[in-house]
Amino acid sequence: MGEIWIKEAERLGDGSIGGAMDTPGAPPRVVWHTTESGHGDTFFKNVGDYLIRVGAEPHILYDPSTDRLGQYGPLSQSARALRNDGLTRTNRTGKVCIQIEVLAKAARPFTEYWKPGPNFKALMRAIRSWGVPDVWPAGALADRYADPDVSRSRTVWATRGGHYGHSQVPGNDHWDPGAISKPAIFAAAPKEAAPAPTPKPSTPAKPVVPTVDLSNLIAAARRDPGLKQGGTTHPADVRIVEGALKAEGLLPAAYASDGSFGSSTVAAYRKWQQRCGYTGSAADGIPGKASLEKLGAKRGFKVKA
Protein backbone atom coordinates (compact mmCIF):
# COMPACT_ATOMS: atom_id res chain seq x y z
CA MET A 1 0.00 0.00 0.00
CA GLY A 2 1.32 3.41 -0.95
CA GLU A 3 0.64 6.85 0.52
CA ILE A 4 -3.07 7.62 0.48
CA TRP A 5 -2.97 11.18 1.74
CA ILE A 6 0.16 13.25 1.15
CA LYS A 7 0.96 14.85 4.46
CA GLU A 8 2.44 17.94 2.81
CA ALA A 9 -0.72 18.60 0.79
CA GLU A 10 -3.61 20.89 1.73
CA ARG A 11 -6.93 19.10 1.85
CA LEU A 12 -9.38 20.34 -0.76
CA GLY A 13 -13.12 19.66 -0.74
CA ASP A 14 -14.70 17.01 1.43
CA GLY A 15 -12.19 14.28 0.67
CA SER A 16 -14.63 12.10 -1.24
CA ILE A 17 -14.23 12.11 -5.00
CA GLY A 18 -14.46 8.57 -6.26
CA GLY A 19 -14.43 4.94 -5.40
CA ALA A 20 -12.69 1.64 -5.88
CA MET A 21 -10.57 0.95 -8.93
CA ASP A 22 -12.04 -1.31 -11.62
CA THR A 23 -8.77 -3.03 -12.51
CA PRO A 24 -6.65 -2.96 -9.38
CA GLY A 25 -4.50 -5.72 -10.85
CA ALA A 26 -3.36 -3.45 -13.70
CA PRO A 27 -0.19 -1.38 -13.31
CA PRO A 28 -0.28 1.90 -11.39
CA ARG A 29 -0.25 5.16 -13.34
CA VAL A 30 -0.38 8.93 -13.20
CA VAL A 31 -2.21 11.30 -15.55
CA TRP A 32 -1.01 14.89 -15.96
CA HIS A 33 -3.44 17.65 -16.77
CA THR A 34 -3.33 21.41 -17.04
CA THR A 35 -6.20 23.57 -15.85
CA GLU A 36 -5.88 25.96 -18.81
CA SER A 37 -5.73 28.81 -16.35
CA GLY A 38 -3.26 31.13 -14.76
CA HIS A 39 -1.40 30.27 -11.60
CA GLY A 40 -0.97 31.81 -8.17
CA ASP A 41 -3.17 31.65 -5.09
CA THR A 42 -6.27 33.28 -6.61
CA PHE A 43 -6.38 30.71 -9.39
CA PHE A 44 -5.58 27.96 -6.91
CA LYS A 45 -8.72 28.90 -4.97
CA ASN A 46 -11.01 29.67 -7.88
CA VAL A 47 -10.03 26.81 -10.15
CA GLY A 48 -9.88 24.50 -7.16
CA ASP A 49 -13.48 25.34 -6.27
CA TYR A 50 -14.59 25.16 -9.89
CA LEU A 51 -13.34 21.59 -10.24
CA ILE A 52 -15.46 20.62 -7.25
CA ARG A 53 -18.50 22.45 -8.60
CA VAL A 54 -18.39 20.65 -11.94
CA GLY A 55 -17.49 17.30 -10.40
CA ALA A 56 -14.21 16.97 -12.29
CA GLU A 57 -11.83 16.69 -9.38
CA PRO A 58 -8.41 15.24 -9.89
CA HIS A 59 -6.56 13.86 -6.90
CA ILE A 60 -4.06 16.67 -6.90
CA LEU A 61 -4.00 20.39 -7.67
CA TYR A 62 -0.52 21.77 -8.13
CA ASP A 63 0.76 25.29 -8.70
CA PRO A 64 4.03 25.12 -10.65
CA SER A 65 4.89 28.73 -9.81
CA THR A 66 4.59 28.43 -6.03
CA ASP A 67 4.98 24.68 -5.37
CA ARG A 68 1.57 24.75 -3.65
CA LEU A 69 0.01 21.31 -3.38
CA GLY A 70 -3.61 20.38 -2.71
CA GLN A 71 -5.32 17.02 -2.55
CA TYR A 72 -9.01 16.26 -3.12
CA GLY A 73 -9.24 12.56 -2.47
CA PRO A 74 -7.38 9.42 -1.47
CA LEU A 75 -4.81 8.24 -3.99
CA SER A 76 -6.08 4.68 -3.49
CA GLN A 77 -9.43 5.54 -5.09
CA SER A 78 -10.49 6.96 -8.44
CA ALA A 79 -10.71 10.65 -9.37
CA ARG A 80 -12.93 12.39 -11.92
CA ALA A 81 -10.81 14.22 -14.45
CA LEU A 82 -11.01 11.73 -17.33
CA ARG A 83 -13.76 10.83 -19.73
CA ASN A 84 -14.69 7.17 -20.07
CA ASP A 85 -13.53 5.26 -23.13
CA GLY A 86 -16.80 3.63 -24.08
CA LEU A 87 -17.41 1.15 -21.32
CA THR A 88 -13.92 1.48 -19.94
CA ARG A 89 -13.87 3.74 -16.93
CA THR A 90 -10.48 5.31 -17.50
CA ASN A 91 -10.59 7.03 -14.12
CA ARG A 92 -10.61 3.58 -12.54
CA THR A 93 -7.92 1.88 -14.59
CA GLY A 94 -4.97 0.44 -12.72
CA LYS A 95 -3.90 -0.17 -9.17
CA VAL A 96 -3.98 3.60 -8.89
CA CYS A 97 -4.71 6.29 -11.49
CA ILE A 98 -3.36 9.41 -9.83
CA GLN A 99 -4.55 12.52 -11.61
CA ILE A 100 -2.78 15.81 -11.28
CA GLU A 101 -4.15 19.15 -12.43
CA VAL A 102 -1.37 21.66 -12.83
CA LEU A 103 -2.34 25.34 -12.80
CA ALA A 104 -0.99 26.01 -16.27
CA LYS A 105 -1.83 26.01 -19.95
CA ALA A 106 -1.03 23.27 -22.43
CA ALA A 107 0.19 25.86 -24.91
CA ARG A 108 2.90 26.97 -22.52
CA PRO A 109 4.57 23.86 -21.09
CA PHE A 110 4.93 24.46 -17.39
CA THR A 111 8.27 22.69 -17.15
CA GLU A 112 9.76 25.67 -19.00
CA TYR A 113 9.15 28.07 -16.13
CA TRP A 114 8.08 26.10 -13.07
CA LYS A 115 9.69 26.16 -9.65
CA PRO A 116 9.23 22.69 -8.23
CA GLY A 117 10.11 22.49 -4.57
CA PRO A 118 9.62 20.28 -1.54
CA ASN A 119 5.92 19.79 -2.24
CA PHE A 120 6.62 18.51 -5.72
CA LYS A 121 9.11 16.10 -4.24
CA ALA A 122 6.45 14.98 -1.76
CA LEU A 123 4.06 14.41 -4.66
CA MET A 124 6.59 12.30 -6.52
CA ARG A 125 7.39 10.41 -3.36
CA ALA A 126 3.72 9.51 -2.98
CA ILE A 127 3.48 8.54 -6.67
CA ARG A 128 6.47 6.28 -6.39
CA SER A 129 5.15 4.80 -3.18
CA TRP A 130 2.51 3.08 -5.33
CA GLY A 131 5.14 1.60 -7.58
CA VAL A 132 4.46 3.96 -10.50
CA PRO A 133 7.62 3.69 -12.61
CA ASP A 134 9.49 6.77 -13.84
CA VAL A 135 8.50 6.19 -17.45
CA TRP A 136 6.13 7.61 -20.06
CA PRO A 137 4.86 4.47 -21.79
CA ALA A 138 2.69 6.18 -24.43
CA GLY A 139 5.40 8.09 -26.27
CA ALA A 140 5.11 11.71 -27.39
CA LEU A 141 2.92 14.20 -25.60
CA ALA A 142 0.64 16.37 -27.74
CA ASP A 143 1.95 19.81 -28.58
CA ARG A 144 -1.36 20.95 -30.07
CA TYR A 145 -4.99 19.96 -30.24
CA ALA A 146 -5.53 16.84 -32.38
CA ASP A 147 -1.79 16.36 -32.71
CA PRO A 148 -1.51 13.46 -35.20
CA ASP A 149 1.71 12.21 -33.59
CA VAL A 150 0.00 11.26 -30.38
CA SER A 151 -1.06 7.73 -29.57
CA ARG A 152 -4.04 6.89 -27.41
CA SER A 153 -3.38 3.19 -27.54
CA ARG A 154 -5.89 1.19 -25.55
CA THR A 155 -3.41 -1.63 -25.18
CA VAL A 156 -0.75 0.61 -23.72
CA TRP A 157 -3.25 2.23 -21.38
CA ALA A 158 -4.57 -1.10 -20.16
CA THR A 159 -1.23 -2.78 -19.66
CA ARG A 160 1.52 -0.27 -18.93
CA GLY A 161 2.27 1.60 -15.73
CA GLY A 162 3.91 5.01 -15.58
CA HIS A 163 3.11 8.61 -16.44
CA TYR A 164 0.59 9.69 -19.06
CA GLY A 165 -0.58 13.00 -20.38
CA HIS A 166 -4.31 13.50 -20.62
CA SER A 167 -3.57 13.68 -24.35
CA GLN A 168 -2.56 10.00 -24.29
CA VAL A 169 -5.63 8.50 -22.61
CA PRO A 170 -7.99 6.57 -24.91
CA GLY A 171 -11.49 7.95 -25.27
CA ASN A 172 -10.32 11.48 -24.43
CA ASP A 173 -9.64 14.38 -26.78
CA HIS A 174 -7.93 16.99 -24.62
CA TRP A 175 -4.31 17.79 -25.41
CA ASP A 176 -3.18 18.83 -21.96
CA PRO A 177 -0.67 19.03 -20.35
CA GLY A 178 1.02 20.08 -23.60
CA ALA A 179 4.59 19.28 -24.52
CA ILE A 180 6.04 19.37 -21.05
CA SER A 181 9.49 17.92 -20.56
CA LYS A 182 9.01 14.31 -19.56
CA PRO A 183 12.46 13.92 -17.98
CA ALA A 184 12.04 17.21 -16.07
CA ILE A 185 9.23 15.67 -14.04
CA PHE A 186 11.59 13.06 -12.67
CA ALA A 187 14.65 15.28 -12.48
CA ALA A 188 12.77 17.70 -10.22
CA ALA A 189 12.41 14.95 -7.62
CA PRO A 190 15.43 12.72 -7.72
CA LYS A 191 14.84 9.37 -6.19
CA GLU A 192 16.19 9.03 -2.74
CA ALA A 193 19.38 7.09 -2.78
CA ALA A 194 18.64 3.62 -1.60
CA PRO A 195 19.40 3.48 2.08
CA ALA A 196 22.72 1.88 2.74
CA PRO A 197 22.25 -1.75 3.62
CA THR A 198 22.15 -2.19 7.32
CA PRO A 199 25.37 -3.83 8.28
CA LYS A 200 24.83 -7.26 9.70
CA PRO A 201 25.33 -7.18 13.41
CA SER A 202 28.82 -8.50 13.61
CA THR A 203 29.13 -11.51 15.75
CA PRO A 204 31.30 -10.35 18.57
CA ALA A 205 34.77 -11.63 17.96
CA LYS A 206 35.45 -14.60 20.13
CA PRO A 207 38.12 -13.65 22.55
CA VAL A 208 41.24 -15.40 21.48
CA VAL A 209 42.32 -17.78 24.18
CA PRO A 210 46.08 -17.87 24.22
CA THR A 211 47.82 -21.20 24.28
CA VAL A 212 51.02 -21.96 26.06
CA ASP A 213 53.30 -24.81 25.19
CA LEU A 214 54.18 -26.90 28.20
CA SER A 215 57.50 -28.09 26.82
CA ASN A 216 58.50 -24.50 26.04
CA LEU A 217 57.72 -23.49 29.59
CA ILE A 218 59.67 -26.36 31.06
CA ALA A 219 62.64 -25.51 28.87
CA ALA A 220 62.44 -21.85 29.89
CA ALA A 221 62.05 -22.66 33.58
CA ARG A 222 65.14 -24.84 33.44
CA ARG A 223 67.26 -22.46 31.41
CA ASP A 224 66.27 -18.87 32.16
CA PRO A 225 67.42 -18.80 35.83
CA GLY A 226 70.94 -19.53 34.58
CA LEU A 227 70.92 -16.73 32.03
CA LYS A 228 71.88 -13.24 32.98
CA GLN A 229 69.04 -11.28 34.51
CA GLY A 230 66.05 -11.13 32.16
CA GLY A 231 67.33 -13.69 29.69
CA THR A 232 64.58 -15.44 27.79
CA THR A 233 64.02 -18.75 26.05
CA HIS A 234 60.33 -18.79 25.08
CA PRO A 235 59.18 -15.33 26.09
CA ALA A 236 55.74 -15.48 24.47
CA ASP A 237 54.71 -18.55 26.46
CA VAL A 238 56.35 -17.30 29.59
CA ARG A 239 54.61 -13.91 29.54
CA ILE A 240 51.22 -15.59 29.59
CA VAL A 241 52.12 -17.61 32.66
CA GLU A 242 53.75 -14.60 34.31
CA GLY A 243 50.54 -12.65 33.82
CA ALA A 244 48.57 -15.46 35.45
CA LEU A 245 50.97 -15.72 38.39
CA LYS A 246 50.79 -11.98 38.90
CA ALA A 247 47.00 -12.13 38.84
CA GLU A 248 47.25 -14.78 41.54
CA GLY A 249 49.30 -12.39 43.63
CA LEU A 250 52.31 -14.66 43.41
CA LEU A 251 54.64 -12.65 41.19
CA PRO A 252 55.62 -9.02 41.70
CA ALA A 253 54.62 -6.77 38.84
CA ALA A 254 58.25 -5.94 38.15
CA TYR A 255 58.83 -9.48 36.87
CA ALA A 256 55.42 -10.09 35.45
CA SER A 257 56.03 -9.31 31.79
CA ASP A 258 59.70 -9.75 31.07
CA GLY A 259 59.17 -13.11 29.39
CA SER A 260 61.97 -14.61 31.41
CA PHE A 261 61.20 -17.69 33.53
CA GLY A 262 63.90 -16.56 35.96
CA SER A 263 64.30 -17.42 39.62
CA SER A 264 61.48 -15.08 40.73
CA THR A 265 59.12 -16.76 38.34
CA VAL A 266 60.26 -20.20 39.44
CA ALA A 267 59.61 -19.17 43.04
CA ALA A 268 56.18 -17.83 42.10
CA TYR A 269 55.32 -21.00 40.24
CA ARG A 270 56.42 -23.08 43.22
CA LYS A 271 53.91 -21.18 45.35
CA TRP A 272 51.24 -21.93 42.77
CA GLN A 273 52.11 -25.64 42.93
CA GLN A 274 51.87 -25.52 46.70
CA ARG A 275 48.47 -23.88 46.39
CA CYS A 276 47.49 -26.78 44.20
CA GLY A 277 48.51 -29.14 46.99
CA TYR A 278 51.94 -30.22 45.84
CA THR A 279 54.65 -30.48 48.40
CA GLY A 280 58.33 -31.27 48.57
CA SER A 281 60.01 -31.96 45.27
CA ALA A 282 56.64 -32.02 43.56
CA ALA A 283 56.59 -28.26 44.11
CA ASP A 284 59.82 -27.48 42.33
CA GLY A 285 58.70 -24.39 40.40
CA ILE A 286 58.94 -26.19 37.03
CA PRO A 287 55.50 -26.26 35.40
CA GLY A 288 53.79 -29.59 35.16
CA LYS A 289 50.75 -30.37 33.08
CA ALA A 290 48.18 -30.59 35.86
CA SER A 291 49.18 -27.45 37.73
CA LEU A 292 49.55 -25.49 34.52
CA GLU A 293 46.14 -26.52 33.24
CA LYS A 294 44.65 -25.52 36.55
CA LEU A 295 46.27 -22.10 36.28
CA GLY A 296 45.12 -21.77 32.68
CA ALA A 297 41.56 -22.73 33.52
CA LYS A 298 41.51 -20.03 36.16
CA ARG A 299 43.39 -17.33 34.25
CA GLY A 300 42.28 -17.81 30.69
CA PHE A 301 44.84 -19.77 28.68
CA LYS A 302 45.04 -23.20 27.20
CA VAL A 303 47.87 -25.64 27.57
CA LYS A 304 49.44 -27.51 24.72
CA ALA A 305 51.13 -30.47 26.23
| HSE (side-chain half, CA atoms, 13 Å) at 53 | 6
- For the beta sheet containing 60-63, the strands, ordered from the edge strand earlier in sequence to the opposite edge, are 10-11, 68-71, 60-63, 97-102, 29-34, 162-165
Q: Does 95 bind Zn ion (CB under 5 A)?
A: no
Q: How far is the CB of 138 from Zn ion (least distance, A)?
A: 14
Q: How far is the CB of 198 from Zn ion (least distance, A)?
A: 43
Q: Which of 39, 59, 80, 166 binds Zn ion (CB under 5 A)?
A: 166
Span interacting with Zn ion, options 11-19, 107-115, 174-182, 214-222, rule CB under 5 A: 174-182
Which three-class secondary structure state does DSSP give residue 30?
strand
Q: Which of 176, 224, 237, 258 binds Zn ion (CB under 5 A)?
A: 176
Q: Which of 6, 12, 33, 233 binds Zn ion (CB under 5 A)?
A: 33
- Burial class of 35 by CB neighbour count within 10 A (0 to 12, 13 to 18, 19+): buried
**Phi/psi class of residue 40: alpha, beta or left (left: φ > 0; alpha: ψ in -120 to 50)?**
left
Q: Which of 39, 174, 234, 239 binds Zn ion (CB under 5 A)?
A: 174
Q: How far is the CB of 58 from Zn ion (least distance, A)?
A: 8
| C-alpha to C-alpha distance for 92 and 18, rounded to whole angstroms | 9
Q: Does 92 bind Zn ion (CB under 5 A)?
A: no
Span interacting with Zn ion, options 27-35, 129-137, 148-156, 222-230, rule CB under 5 A: 27-35
For residue 235, give the nearest of 257, 268, 251 by alpha carbon: 257
Span interacting with Zn ion, options 69-77, 168-176, 185-193, 213-221, rule CB under 5 A: 168-176
Number of residues forming the site for Zn ion (CB under 5 A): 4
Span interacting with Zn ion, options 3-11, 160-168, 197-205, 225-233, rule CB under 5 A: 160-168
**Residues 133, 94, 192: CA angle, nearest 5 degrees:** 25
Contact of 43 with 37, CB cutoff 8 Å: yes
179 or 245, CB closer to Zn ion? 179
Catalog residues that contact Zn ion under the rule CB under 5 A.
33, 166, 174, 176
